[in-house]
């Protein structure tokens, strides 16, 4: 599950990870609590496009899908009508510096961030939907996988986090889903740190 994340991005690392993209709309982006239905620049194969979080399939009659499809289970992407036609050519990257998760038992919030880098890139899928005024609405979803050992005490799911260096391979439309399917896995425990967030009383 990934329902909230933070965006405080390091410009130098952005340029290193996305050397072929115009990252001007990303480098000054600062949002401490990015939530579903909010809009942000999303990295696709050759550009950066503003999109709304919560995927609305192109065939949907209305936008009610948005709140239901903020995440996509990596194990069933090829089975779901909302995702199976997107996996080969409509993959994206959601840039972040970490995400939030809540322990389902104690309700304690945690912040999960990378240990060796400043940038945490989530694997995603994107599409566009035509609204009632015949205007395209670009939307995205974040792919999730089973939790690694570090996360498993908090939640049984986590976002798919790309290892540094795999960005272009994930984004390239030349690679069908079979080529990059191995990216959909929990990141190594050593690659993330988990910090409890002090509750305000």
Which residues are annotated as catalytic? 2, 101
Distance CA 48, CA 17 (A): 13
Distance CA 35, CA 171 (A): 24
Instruction: Calculate the alpha carbon distances from 184 to 34, 50, 108, 118, 178 in Å.
Output: 23, 24, 27, 21, 11
N-terminal to C-terminal alpha carbon distance within the chain: 26
Under 8 Å between Cβ of 40 and 34 = yes
Distance CA 75, CA 159 (A): 12
**Alpha helices (runs of H) in the chain, residue ranges in sequence order:** 11-17, 24-27, 149-152, 167-171, 177-180
Q: Which two tokens stand for residue 13?
A: 């690392």
- In 3D space, the residue among 25, 29, 37 whose CA is nearest the CA of residue 64 turns out to be 37
């Amino acid at each position: 599950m990934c329902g909230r994340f933070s965006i405080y991005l390091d410009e130098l690392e952005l340029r290193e990870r996305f050397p072929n993209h115009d990252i001007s709309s990303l480098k000054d982006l600062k949002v401490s609590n990015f939530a579903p239905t909010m809009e942000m620049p999303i990295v696709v194969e050759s550009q950066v496009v503003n999109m709304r979080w919560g995927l609305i399939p192109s065939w949907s009659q209305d936008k009610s899908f948005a709140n239901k499809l903020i995440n996509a289970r990596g194990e069933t992407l090829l089975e779901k009508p909302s995702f199976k036609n997107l996996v080969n050519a409509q993959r994206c990257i959601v840039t972040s510096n970490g995400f939030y998760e809540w322990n389902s038992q104690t309700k304690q919030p945690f912040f999960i961030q990378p240990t060796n880098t400043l940038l945490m890139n989530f694997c995603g899928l994107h599409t566009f939907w035509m609204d009632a005024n015949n205007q395209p609405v670009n939307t995205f979803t974040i792919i999730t996988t089973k939790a690694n050992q570090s996360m498993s005490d908090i939640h049984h799911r986590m976002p798919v986090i790309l290892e540094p260096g795999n960005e272009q391979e994930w984004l390239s439309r030349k690679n069908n889903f079979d080529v990059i399917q191995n990216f959909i896995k929990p990141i190594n425990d050593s690659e993330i740190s988990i910090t409890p967030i002090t509750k305000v009383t």
